[in-house]
């Protein structure tokens, strides 16, 4: 049975569009991830190198929450925002690993654990929606871990949809988008599978 995302859920996924330059988008997401990781490592003395192995996927997942936090009344400092984003990333990508426990300890020390719990609940909801959306495409991706490696798509799904208005040829558009994403040099997924995923997304959104 195919999973059909609701209009509200789709809005959650695509609310943080970056623009139509897919190559630059991936570089921005990866740069955003590295800056956030480096800031938290320096400020809080944490070793977060494992997060860098996810490429722009971390940036793709947490970027919407950077926007969410800054537009809501949380009154976090910039360092606290970065720490919360890392808390989201470690929760979503690692779950019960020791690295998550260390990050949560720092969040508690900052006195922002209750606010973090509120935000991470929304992050878990987004994770569920994204996984169900990807599973509904019936691609060759099999594991949750592999699905999460495609999180860089979250803030550009709206932009992928916009491509259809310019070029209704789904096969051609899929290859074009896939090639542009891969040309960034930071996307760490199979070219064949990425084009397959883009193709299925375009078909779903057409």
Q: What is the mean pLDDT of residues 181-204?
A: 93
pTM confidence score? 0.88
What pLDDT, on a 0 to 100 scale, did the predictor assign at position 8?
59
Instruction: Work out the widest C-alpha separation in the chain, in whole angstroms.
Output: 53
Q: Which of 28, 50, 27, 26 is nearest to 37 (CA)?
A: 50
Q: Give the chain's end-to-end CA distance (angstroms, integer).
A: 19
Smallest Cα–Cα separation from 10: which of 120, 132, 97, 93? Answer: 132
Task: Tell me 153's DSSP state.
Answer: G
What does each C-alpha distance from 112 to 38, 77, 134, 157 come to in angstroms? 20, 11, 32, 31
Summarize pLDDT for 59-100 with one digit per residue, the tens: 999 998 998 899 888 999 999 999 999 999 999 998 778 899
Tens of pLDDT along 132-158? 999 999 999 989 999 999 999 998 887
pLDDT of residue 3: 45
C-alpha distances (whole Å) from 152 to each of 30, 48, 68, 77, 112 are 9, 19, 17, 26, 27
Radius of gyration from C-alpha coordinates of the chain: 17
* Centroid of chain to Cα 60: 3
| 42-63 average pLDDT score | 94
Buried b (16+ CB within 10 A) or exposed e, 110-124: bebeebbeebbeebe
- Mean pLDDT score across all residues of the chain: 88
Taking residues 171-195, report their average pLDDT.
92
Indicate the pLDDT class of residue 13, thresholds 50, 70 and 90.
low
Band (pLDDT 50/70/90 cuts) for residue 9 is low
> Which of the four pLDDT bands, split at 50, 70 and 90, describes residue 111?
very high
Between 113-136 and 7-14, two packed helices, what is the crossing angle to 10 degrees?
A: 110
pLDDT category of residue 104 using cuts at 50, 70 and 90? very high
Cα–Cα distance between 123 and 74 in angstroms, integer? Answer: 16
Mean pLDDT of 183-198: 93
């Amino acid at each position: 049975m195919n999973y059909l995302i609701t209009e509200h859920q789709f809005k959650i996924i695509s609310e943080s569009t970056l623009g139509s330059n897919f190559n630059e988008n991936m570089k921005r997401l990866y740069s955003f991830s590295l800056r956030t990781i480096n800031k938290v490592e320096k400020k809080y003395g944490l070793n977060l190198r494992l997060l860098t192995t996810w490429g722009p996927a971390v940036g793709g997942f947490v970027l919407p929450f950077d926007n969410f936090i800054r537009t809501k009344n949380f009154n976090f400092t910039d360092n606290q925002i970065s720490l919360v984003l890392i808390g989201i990333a470690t929760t979503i990508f690692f779950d019960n690993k020791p690295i998550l426990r260390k990050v949560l300890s720092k969040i508690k020390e900052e006195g922002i654990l209750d606010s973090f719990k509120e935000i991470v609940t929304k992050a878990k909801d987004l994770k569920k929606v994204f996984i169900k959306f990807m599973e509904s495409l019936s691609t060759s991706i099999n594991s949750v871990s592999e699905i999460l490696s495609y999180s860089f798509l979250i803030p550009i799904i709206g932009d992928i949809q916009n491509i259809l208005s310019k070029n209704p040829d789904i096969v051609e558009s899929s290859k074009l988008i896939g090639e542009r994403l891969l040309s960034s040099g930071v996307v760490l997924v199979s070219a064949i599978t990425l084009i397959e995923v883009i193709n299925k997304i375009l078909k779903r959104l057409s």
